[in-house]
Each structure stands twice: as structure tokens, then as C-alpha cells.
């Protein structure tokens, strides 16, 4: 009820209540005193006169103090609020007079700064809107032309899988030149299964930047397309739509097959003549046909040719085997793709798939398994099942069935057959050679039979926070920036900062706890440089307790191949040279770094700022200064999956510092030295490390 009253009226009621309380206290005190002195003549008159004088004095004093509060607090606050509302809601742009609230400490300057910033923002926004509005028509035309002529098919669909947009390439790829028509179901043109699976997978992930690769088949013509799906997020609009980019991988397969066949033919046709030449030169008698000098030169050239052909052949074989040119494919996507292909042929497939990421050409492996699965089904196999499990550094694919075993001769014949009738150059065996693997039949327990196909390189799929995007890095303002060797006199915006965070095995470095992950970003010229990131796991050389893993999610297996603390700290020292270090609760993180200092080359002598202390400077020591509390006050959201990861907390701390920096400047702390003096006043919270 009282919140509906004006501020001035509430202050008046407070002081009126104070006056009434003082009068009651005075009356009670006088009554007690009179009862003790009631037997003395004239005592009552004295008490009455003294009480009246004191009562009027109290009323006068309270009224005077109330008038001062009303004049110097309530009225200025009302005037300040009115001026702020005028600028917030009535688009008033004039300056504010800080003198109207000169007795309210930093409130008036803060309000003036807020109003000025609001006016600047509005002006900049108006200019930006006007500028962008003028360009919208031109940009729209350019975008339409670009999307119309781009080689990839682009399709936008609603959550109900209805067509919202398509370009001419998409028409050629999925509809064979027939115009699809807006608001028609996508599944009139593409098979439903893989698309729905990819959409459900992206919804389950919940990451707006995630993408899912899939293989789908057109309804007409059974053309195989490689696609990438990405959700189009719209806050508060229910399930999102998605964009689908399409590419015909059959043509890619044909071109790849022709290149591989050409290379194989080149090496085959060169090896034989070079070997024959080498053998012929060995049996020729010295000087029998040519002069000795010419014969020596001829022998040398033949040897060079033979060595060259052998070396190039070896390098080609190694390139096929190392998998460097192969893409990363999720085991689940590969299983889904094979299942979709077999369902197209009317066959079912059970899948048992580990959460692995395989280095392979998913389309080629699916095509090989699809062809063999169809062949063994025609031979009477039942109950097809695909198993993908981790094996050593790779993975084992097993196509399992019930029925007759697979003869090696039949398998060889199937592997020599073309992978696709339209691409006779590419055989299943050639796919296996590209992946430096082979396939063989095997009999399992329980009377089942399997085709085994190992993939040489695979790793477990581990949920990690989204990495900081690395892109082109530049800041041309640095060309004109003056530099000073005196850090204390340097403006905050002119300093270079490295914001970092560590995850550890525990909280006691003096008892042997070590770093398991360290991440850092650089702030240059007042902005976070997205392309300059330090982020690495660390092998602590000791077990990671389960209680620590539950906090940061880092397991012993994840750090098994990571570098040790000494190496990582040395690399971080080089990354942070010449910069001011920033951390949230810096003394904790610096303990772990300083354990690995090696004088004189590896010493962390950097100036240090702690966002805990900076938060205390701005908000006072009475507030909570945890990272969650600070980011909440500053309107910064830390994704749940990134909290308590080194890179997630580092980015949040950097963003918090960038918002604290103008607030410090607004309080009059413009240089590093100014901030350092103020920070040391809050040493009760944390020790200053400078």
C-alpha cells in the first residue's frame, strides 16, 4: 500500500512517525520521573513546563530535519526521476543539470552519464537505421541474385517441413527441373527418414549454432544428395525452422573415382617400364652399345626414374592410409544413412552404435555396406544389424545377419563390382583402398555371421563448449595509439590484457593439485580479439578425482595425450607476455602458474587485475562477488554447458571486465594506477598481487 504513495509523502510519514515516537518516549520518561517526585510541592508544574519545552523542541528539530531531507533528497530525487523519464520515454535530448541532486553523492553524475549515453545510443541507432534502410533494397536484390546463382541448393523449411524458400540449384537437384512450389511438403521431393532424423538430432542438441550433415535421396530418380541442416532459431516461436544446403555427391564420387583410377593407372604404367629399364641396364655389357660417358648418364637417369616412381608410389600409399583428406563423420549419422538406404529398398536394419566420430567418407562407406547388405539379403540373410564399436585407436563396423555364412569368393566378387552403376570407375575395393582398410567375413557366437570393416581413425564424441571462433584478426586503431612504458600512468583502454582461467584437480596446489585445463583470451584496444585464443587440456600427472570431474567434466581419458603442466605454463607465459593478467579470484589461479616458474626466463611479473576486487570497487564490499553474481548484474549469460569450463569462464570474465572498464572510468579511475590505488582499499576480500 505504501509503495503507491509518493516518495516525499513517504518521507514525511517516516519523520512524522519519528516525531510521534520521540514525543511518546518523552511523555513516558516524564511520567516515570514525576511518580518518583510526586510528594514534592511544585514538581508537577516543573515537569509540565519542561515536557512542553522539550516536546516543542523535538517537533521543531524533526520538522527542520524533515524539511532538509525534503529539500535536498526527496525533491531532487523526484526531479532527477522526472528528467530521466523524459529522456527515456519522451525522447528529450537536452543535457541534465547535475546540481539538482548535488547532495546525493554519485547518483546525479551517474544519472547524467546514463542520460548522455542514452542520447548517444539513440542518435547512433537512428543514423544506423537510416543508413541500413537505404541499403535494404539493394542488398535484397544482391542476395536474391547470389542465392539464385550459387552452386549449392539452398532450401528453407518451416518446422512442419513446408518449403519457405528455394533457389534454382535446389530445383535442379531435388525436383529435376520441376518447380517445387512454396508451402509444399519437402517430403514430396526428398525422402523423409534422414531429414526427420537430422531435425530431431538438432532439436535434442539445443545448440543454435550446431549443424547436422546427412545423406538423403530424392523421391524422383533416387539421386543421392549430401546435405547440411542448420536450425533457424526464433525466440518464443516454438520449434524452429531450418535451412538445408544440398550437393550432389554422385558427381563428386565419379570425379574422385576418375582421379583415383588415373593415378593408379599412371603409377602402374610407370612402374613396369622403369623396372624393365633398370633390369635391362643391369644386363647390358659395359660399353657394348654406347660410349662409356653416355652409358653412365643413361644408367643414372634410369636409376633416378626408378627411385622417383618408387618414392611417389610410396607417398601416394601413405596419403591414402593417413586419412588426412577424409572427413569426420558421426557413427550415428553413418548408421542412420545406411538405415535410410536399406529402408528405401524395403529392408529393415537394427543399429547398435557407440558415440564415436569416425574419419571416413561417410557416403562411400554407406554405399559399400548398402551394396553388400543387399547382396547377402538376396542370398537369404535375415535380421540385418549394424554394430559400430571402439577398437584400439579406430572403430570396427560389423554388418551382422542370421543365415548362411559369406564365402570369401562371393565377397571378392562384390567388392570388385562398381559402387554405383553410373560410376563404373569406382569399385567397393577402391573405397577400401582409399580408407587403407579391408573387409572380411567372420562367424560370431550364437550362429550369427558378420562382415567386419575396420576404420583406422576414430575418437569418442565428447561434449565440449563451443570453441571461440577464429577469424581474420585486425585493429587498425593500433596504428595511431601512443605507448607508454609506465603502466601506472597508462589509460585502461590502452593496455593489452590476457584474461584467463584454470580448471584443476582440486583446490590445494600446495598439496599437489594440478591444472587440467587452462584457457585465455586477449583484449586489445578495448575489445576482445576473437582470433587470439589459448585453450588446452593439461595432463596433471596425477589422478583426477571424481568430485573434480563432476564440476568441470574433464576425465582422465580426456587428458591422457595432453601436454604436461610445465610445458603448458611455458606456452601460456609466452602468450601473456607484455599484457596485464586478469582473472576472477586471481590468487587461486596464480598459485598454480607460479609453481612452474623458472627464473630468470619464466617468471610471471605481469601486472594483475582481479574482477572480484573490481566488482567491489563498483558495487561495494557488501555485495556478493562470485562470477555468477557479477555476470548476472552485468547482464552476461554463461551457457550452462560452458560454466566451469576454462574457456567458458574466461570469456565470461573478459566480457565482465569490458563492461566494468567504462564504469571505472565513470567513477574517475581512468588509469591503471588509479584503479590499483582503489583496489588496495578492498584487501579484506582478496590480496592484491601487484
The secondary structure of 137-203 as a DSSP string is HHHHHHHHHHHHH-SSEEEEE-TT-BEEEE-HHHHHHHSTTS---TTSBGGGTB-HHHHHHHHHHHH
Report which of 63, 53, 208 is spatially closest to residue 639, judged by C-alpha positions.
208
Tell me the fold of 150-251: Beta-Lactamase (3.30.450)
The torsion of the CA quartet 66, 71, 74, 76, rounded to 10 degrees, works out to -170
- Region 202-223: mean pLDDT is 75
Instruction: Compute the distance between CA of residue 260 and CA of residue 258 in angstroms, rounded to an integer.
Output: 5
pLDDT at 149: 58
pLDDT at residue 479 greater than cutoff 50: no
Domain 328-460 annotated CATH 3.10.580.10: no
CATH homologous superfamily of 481-682 equals Ribonuclease H-like superfamily/Ribonuclease H (3.30.420.10)
Instruction: Compute the distance between CA of residue 210 and CA of residue 203 in angstroms, rounded to an integer.
Output: 10
The pLDDT confidence band at residue 256, using thresholds 50, 70 and 90, is low
pLDDT at residue 403 greater than cutoff 60: yes
Task: Specify the range with the lowest mean pLDDT, choosing from 186-200, 250-264, 384-398, 669-683.
Answer: 250-264
User: Choosing from 256, 435, 552, 644, which is the catalytic residue?
Assistant: 644
List the domain boundaries for the chain: 1-147, 150-251, 328-460, 481-682
Is residue 227 within 8 Å of 215, Cβ to Cβ? yes
Q: Report the DSSP pairing between strands 382-391 and 350-353.
A: parallel
Question: Is 435 noted as a catalytic residue in this protein?
Answer: no
The answer for residues whose C-beta is within 8 angstroms of residue 140's C-beta and 6 or more apart is none
Task: Specify the range with the lowest mean pLDDT, choosing from 185-199, 288-302, 622-636.
Answer: 288-302
Task: Specify the range with the lowest mean pLDDT, choosing from 11-25, 38-52, 104-118, 516-530.
Answer: 38-52
Is residue 179 within 8 Å of 210, Cβ to Cβ? no
pLDDT at residue 100 greater than cutoff 90: no
CA-based R_g, the chain, Å? 39
Q: Strand pairing partners for 450?
A: 400, 442
More confident site: 13 or 266: 13
The torsion of the CA quartet 219, 223, 228, 229, rounded to 10 degrees, works out to 0
Element (H, E) at 224: strand 224-232
654-664 pLDDT per residue, tens: 999 999 998 88
pLDDT at 293: 63
The pLDDT confidence band at residue 504, using thresholds 50, 70 and 90, is very high
- Region 42-63: mean pLDDT is 78
Instruction: Compute the distance between CA of residue 118 and CA of residue 85 in angstroms, rounded to an integer.
Output: 12
Amino acid at each position: 500500500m505504501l509503495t503507491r504513495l509518493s516518495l516525499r509523502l513517504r518521507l514525511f510519514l517516516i519523520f512524522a512517525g519519528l516525531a510521534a515516537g520521540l514525543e511518546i518516549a518523552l511523555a513516558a520518561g516524564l511520567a516515570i520521573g514525576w511518580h518518583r517526585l510526586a510528594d514534592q510541592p511544585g514538581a508537577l508544574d516543573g515537569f509540565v513546563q519542561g515536557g512542553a519545552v522539550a516536546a516543542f523542541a523535538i517537533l521543531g528539530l524533526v520538522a527542520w530535519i524533515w524539511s532538509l531531507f525534503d529539500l535536498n533528497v526527496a525533491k531532487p530525487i523526484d526531479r532527477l526521476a522526472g528528467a530521466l523519464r523524459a529522456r527515456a520515454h519522451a525522447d528529450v535530448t537536452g543535457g541534465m543539470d547535475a546540481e539538482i541532486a548535488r547532495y546525493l553523492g554519485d547518483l546525479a553524475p551517474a544519472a547524467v552519464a546514463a542520460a548522455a549515453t542514452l542520447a548517444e545510443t539513440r542518435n547512433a541507432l537512428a543514423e544506423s537505421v537510416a543508413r541500413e534502410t537505404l541499403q535494404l533494397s539493394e542488398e535484397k536484390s544482391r542476395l536474391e541474385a547470389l542465392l539464385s546463382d550459387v552452386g549449392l541448393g539452398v532450401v528453407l523449411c518451416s518446422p512442419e517441413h513446408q518449403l519457405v524458400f528455394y533457389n534454382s540449384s535446389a530445383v535442379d537437384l531435388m525436383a529435376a527441373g520441376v518447380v517445387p512450389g512454396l508451402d509444399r511438403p519437402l517430403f514430396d521431393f526428398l525422402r523423409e527418414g534422414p531429414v526427420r532424423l537430422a531435425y530431431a538430432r538438432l532439436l535434442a542438441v539445443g545448440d543454435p549454432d550446431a549443424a547436422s550433415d546427412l545423406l538423403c535421396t530424392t523421391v524422383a530418380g533416387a539421386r543421392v544428395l549430401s546435405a547440411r541442416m542448420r536450425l533457424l532459431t526464433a525466440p518464443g516461436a516454438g520449434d524452429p525452422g531450418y535451412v538445408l544446403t544440398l550437393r550432389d555427391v554422385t558427381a563428386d564420387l565419379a570425379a574422385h573415382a576418375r582421379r583415383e583410377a588415373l593415378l593408379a593407372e599412371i603409377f602402374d604404367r610407370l612402374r613396369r617400364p622403369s623396372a624393365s629399364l633398370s633390369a635391362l641396364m643391369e644386363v647390358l655389357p659395359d660399353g657394348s652399345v654406347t660410349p662409356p660417358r653416355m652409358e653412365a648418364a643413361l644408367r643414372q637417369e634410369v636409376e633416378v626414374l626408378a627411385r622417383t616412381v618408387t618414392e611417389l608410389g610410396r607417398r601416394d600409399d601413405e596419403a591414402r592410409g593417413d586419412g588426412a583428406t577424409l572427413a569426420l563423420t558421426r557413427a550415428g549419422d553413418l548408421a542412420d544413412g545406411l538405415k535410410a538406404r536399406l529402408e528405401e529398398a524395403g529392408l529393415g536394419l537394427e543399429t547398435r552404435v557407440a558415440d564415436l566420430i569416425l574419419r571416413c567418407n561417410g557416403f562411400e562407406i554407406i554405399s559399400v555396406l548398402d551394396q553388400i547388405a543387399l547382396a547377402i539379403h538376396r542370398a537369404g540373410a535375415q535380421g540385418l544389424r549394424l554394430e559400430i564399436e571402439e577398437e584400439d585407436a579406430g572403430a570396427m563396423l560389423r554388418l551382422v545377419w542370421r543365415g548362411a555364412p559369406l564365402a570369401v569368393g562371393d565377397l571378392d566378387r562384390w567388392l570388385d563390382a562398381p559402387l554405383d552403376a553410373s560410376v563404373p570407375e569406382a569399385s567397393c575395393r577402391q573405397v577400401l583402398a582409399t580408407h587403407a582398410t579391408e573387409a572380411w567375413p567372420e562367424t560370431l557366437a550364437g550362429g550369427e555371421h558378420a562382415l567386419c570393416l575396420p576404420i583406422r581413425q576414430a575418437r569418442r564424441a565428447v561434449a565440449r563448449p563451443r570453441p571461440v571462433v577464429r577469424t581474420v584478426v585486425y585493429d587498425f586503431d593500433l596504428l595511431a595509439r601512443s605507448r607508454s612504458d609506465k603502466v601506472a600512468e597508462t589509460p585502461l583502454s590502452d593496455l593489452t590484457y590476457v584474461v584467463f582461467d584454470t580448471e584443476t584437480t582440486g583446490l590445494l596446489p600446495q598439496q599437489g593439485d594440478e591444472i587440467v585445463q587452462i584457457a585465455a583470451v586477449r583484449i586489445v584496444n578495448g575489445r576482445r580479439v576473437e582470433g587470439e585464443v589459448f585453450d588446452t587440456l593439461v595432463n596433471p600427472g596425477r589422478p583426477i578425482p571424481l568430485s573434480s570431474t563432476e564440476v568441470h567434466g574433464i576425465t582422465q581419458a580426456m587428458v591422457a595425450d595432453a601436454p604436461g603442466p610445465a610445458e603448458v605454463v611455458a606456452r601460456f607465459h609466452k602468450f601473456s607476455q607484455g599484457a596485464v593478467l586478469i582473472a576472477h579470484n586471481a590468487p587461486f589461479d596464480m598459485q598454480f602458474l607460479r609453481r612452474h616458474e623458472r627464473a630468470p626466463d619464466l617468471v610471471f611479473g605481469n601486472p594483475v587485475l582481479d574482477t572480484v576486487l573490481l566488482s567491489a570497487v563498483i558495487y561495494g564490499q557488501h555485495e556478493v562477488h562470485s562470477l555468477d553474481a557479477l555476470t548476472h548484474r552485468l547482464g552476461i549469460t554463461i551457457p550452462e554447458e560452458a560454466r566451469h569450463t576454462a574457456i567458458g569462464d574466461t570469456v565470461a570474465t573478459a566480457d565482465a571486465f569490458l563492461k566494468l572498464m567504462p564504469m571505472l572510468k565513470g567513477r574517475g579511475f581512468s588509469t591503471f594506477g588509479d584503479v590499483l590505488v582503489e583496489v588496495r582499499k578492498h584487501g579484506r576480500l582478496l590480496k592484491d598481487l601487484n
